Each structure stands twice: as C-alpha cells, then as structure tokens.
Amino acid sequence: MDDQTRMMTGLTGLGGLAQADVGDPDSVRKQQSLGQPQQDIGDILQQIMAITDESLDEAQARCWPEESPAHWGGSDDPTEGGRAGGGMAGGGLPLNFQHRKHALNCHRMKPALFSVLCEIKEKTVLSIRGVQEEDPPDPQIMRLDNMLLAEGVSGPEKGGGSAAAAAAAAAAGGSPTDSSIEHSDYRAKLAQIRQIYHSELEKYEQACSEFTNHVMNLLREQSRTRPISPKEIERMVAIIHRKFSSIQMQLKQSTCEAVMILRSRFLDARRKRRNFNKQATEVLNEYFYSHLSNPYPSEEAKEELAKKCGITVSQVSNWFGNKRIRYKKNIGKFQEEANLYAVKTAVDAANVSAQASQANSPATPNSGSPVSYSLPNTGDAYLSLRSLNGEGLNIAPSLQPQNTLLSDCLQANSWQDTTNPHPVTSPPGPPGSVHSDTSN
C-alpha cells in the first residue's frame, strides 16, 4: 500500500470526525479542542511514547517474562495481528507485542494522528527540498575519471595506457629494446592497477546495492507506522549513493596516485637518462662542426638527424642547445673536437670528390658541388691523416683548398659573439635532407 492510499484509508476510517473534515488537519485540531478526541490523541501518543521509550529488554520482560526463543519469527503484518493463539505472531515479534501494535493501528484516532504526521512531514520535506536538489557533477571526480580514462585504467583496456607508455618511452629516447622492455613492464603494472581498481569498484558497488536494498526494506517496513513517501526513500537512496561515491572517489584518487607514481618511476625521462650511443653523438657532432658558423638545424634537418640517431626531434634540439652553450663557454676545450670533425668531414669530402672524378671524367670539376651530409665511417682515414700530420691536428694542406666546408668549420662564428638567440635559420637545401652549408 503506498503512502497516498494509506493516508486515504486512514482518513476514511476516522470514526470521531465528520467525513467532510477528513484530511483537513485544522478540522482535526478543531475536533481535538472539543475535549474527547484530544484525550484520545493524548492516549495514543502516550502509548506510542511508552512503546518507543521502552528498551527491547523491558518490552521483552513485560510482554513475555519467561519467553523462549520460539517466540520469534513470522510476519508483523497488522492484518495478522488478530490471530488467536499464544506464542508467536508474525514478524518475529512476540504475540503480546503484536497485539499492542495492532491495537494501536486499529485505534480510531490513529488515522487522524497519521494525517497530522503526514502534514508535519510534508512541511519538513518542503523546508529541506531546496537543499536536496541534485548536485552538479563534482569537477574533481570528473578530473579523476578523465585521467583514469586517459591512462586506460577505467573504460576500454586498449589504447590509453600503452599509448601513454609508448609516447613517454619515445620521449625518453631509450633504445628500441630498452623502451620495449620498459613498455611491457609498464603495461603489466598498469594492468595490475586496473585489475585492483575494478575489483575494488565492484566490491563498493555490491556493498552499496546491498546497503541500499537493506535501507529501502527498512523504510518500507517503517512506512507502516509512520508516513514515508517514495520520494523520501529516493532521497535516502541518493544519500547512500553519495556516501558510497565519496568512497569511490577515494578509490579513484588512490588509483590516480598509483598511476602517477608508476609513470614517474617508469617514464620520467630525467630519471632514465641514457647517454646517446657513440654513432648518434658522432652524427650530431659532425653536423654541429660542419655548421659551426650557424649551428641551428632546421626542423627538417632535426628530423633527419633524429632519424639517423634513433632519437626524438626534441632530443636533437636539446643536444644542439647544450652543445652550443657549452661550446661557446669553453671554445678552447672543444677546439680539438672541432678540428677532429673538420678533418673528418674534409676527408669525406675529398673521398667523395675523388670518387666522382673517377666515375665521371678526368676533367670533372668538383668545386662548388654540395657535399653530402651522410658521411661514411671516416675514422680510419682521419687516424691516418692524424698520424701523418702528427698530433698537432693541422689539416692536410692539400685538402684545404678543396673544401669551403673546412674553412666554414674553422672560421670565426658570429653566433658565438651574439648574446641574442640566433634566428632560426635553415641551411639551404630541400626539406628532409641534411646538408652541410657549403654555401656559407
């Protein structure tokens, strides 16, 4: 029986009041003021107070002083309350208690009292209605949800986490093998976090649903003796959900923390700094010293270098940034290195031109032709040269006139003198290819 019906039933059963006045609490009060009804309500309230004030032990002692456990069990439906016989009535309540309850329910003033309670209830509900309006979604929860979704902890398993891992691994610039190991390790840990998160979430949801059902049953049960509207039950359910969602938020928070720790441990590039391999450093140095007059690789050149070195474009930028500043700070220290790479480049250029002469014709000129940036391993040639020329690192005179590149490498560099950032310039050449700026 719903609240409305219950109220109506109660009111129609109001014996001491005129039918026309039924449902009007003022009329009820008027009647109460006449004397007899007031006494009745007083009685009924007295009885209610007496029952509610009693502890269970007291009630037990009074109703069944020598009861056995067999008195418990069954239904407490008031309609069953009139059943004859000793021992237990329904609802797990002793029969005497059932009788008292039933007597109370059947009291002729009960419907009127119930209607007054309904009125009071209605007013109370109205006063708190404004406060109970639906809350907007919590931005913090939204942030947490978004992060968990982005990391692949919540939502579908694919993408998120592994993508983040891949991106971060790429940013860290580790070797392919290293990054793949770290990647799988990261994914395994992330999967662990995901599993824990989902199992905990399931537990919370189960507990929430169980508790909600329990409370709803309790309220439905109570609605027999006090007015409880379905809206109130809904509100109570909402309160329970809010409480549980705060627990969920804690779970989400700690999951996010775990993910952040995992990320910082596995993917923090600074933590995982690895020196570039020898070949990569050589490629970068070759470019740097062969563009010493303007060591600012274009975006295309950076991409090309990054590809050659197996690192990212930003790592190339970092490297050049560091190199420029360190070179500038201590030119003397880097002079030897500069000479070394200048010779290396020159030897390569000489080799290239010699090959070109042989391949074409004896008269083919090579001056002015662009020198390919892709240098073969000229280390041996350089060492031979070095030994021929002693440790003085002088350039073989025969090589000098052939390469404007060489002079470019060794000339005074304007970028070193300026304190302002050098304008972003690209060495001439088609995009995607790395050239030495022989035209300089």
Partner DNA sequence: TAGCATGATTAAAC
Partner DNA sequence: GTTTAATCATGCTA
Per rule CB under 7 A, is residue 258 in the interface with DNA? no
Write the Ramachandran bin of 368: left for phi over 0, alpha for psi from -120 to 50, otherwise beta.
Answer: left
Per rule CB under 7 A, is residue 274 in the interface with DNA? yes
| Least CB distance to DNA at residue 299 (A) | 7
Closest by CA to 238, choosing from 133, 141, 138, is 133
Give backbone dihedrals phi and psi of 88, rounded to 5 degrees, phi first. -100, 140
First to last CA, the chain: 96
CB closer to DNA out of 226 and 271: 271
Question: Token pair of 2, please?
Answer: 């719903």
Per rule CB under 7 A, is residue 341 in the interface with DNA? no
Q: Is the dihedral of CA 125, 129, 130, 132 positive or negative?
A: positive
| Least CB distance to DNA at residue 296 (A) | 4
Write the Ramachandran bin of 223: left for phi over 0, alpha for psi from -120 to 50, otherwise beta.
Answer: alpha
Per rule CB under 7 A, is residue 270 in the interface with DNA? yes
Using CB under 7 A, count the residues that bind DNA. 34
Choose which of 275, 361, 387, 398 interacts with DNA (CB under 7 A).
275
Measured between alpha carbons, how far is 46 from 28 in angstroms, rounded to an integer?
18
Choose which of 188, 260, 325, 331 interacts with DNA (CB under 7 A).
325
Choose which of 71, 110, 272, 291 interacts with DNA (CB under 7 A).
272
Burial readout 78-103 (b: 16 or more C-beta within 10 A, e: otherwise): beebeeeeeebbbbebbbbbbbbbbe
CB closer to DNA out of 62 and 333: 333
Choose which of 122, 279, 328, 365 interacts with DNA (CB under 7 A).
328
Give backbone dihedrals phi and psi of 250, rounded to 5 degrees, phi first. -60, -40
| Least CB distance to DNA at residue 254 (A) | 24
Segment 405-434, which members bind DNA (CB under 7 A)? 415, 419-422, 424
Residue pair 421/325 in contact (Cβ under 8 Å)? The answer is: no
Segment 173-192, which members bind DNA (CB under 7 A)? 173
Choose which of 28, 95, 113, 172 interacts with DNA (CB under 7 A).
172
DSSP 248-279: HHHHHHHHHHHHHHHHHHHH-TTTT--PPPHH
Per rule CB under 7 A, is residue 306 in the interface with DNA? no
Q: Is the dihedral of CA 105, 106, 111, 116 positive or negative?
A: negative
Choose which of 191, 276, 352, 433 interacts with DNA (CB under 7 A).
276
| Least CB distance to DNA at residue 344 (A) | 16
Per rule CB under 7 A, is residue 335 in the interface with DNA? no
Residue pair 229/7 in contact (Cβ under 8 Å)? The answer is: no
Choose which of 252, 263, 324, 344 interacts with DNA (CB under 7 A).
324
Return residues touching DNA (CB under 7 A).
171-173, 268-276, 281, 296, 299, 311, 314-315, 317-322, 324-326, 328, 415, 419-422, 424
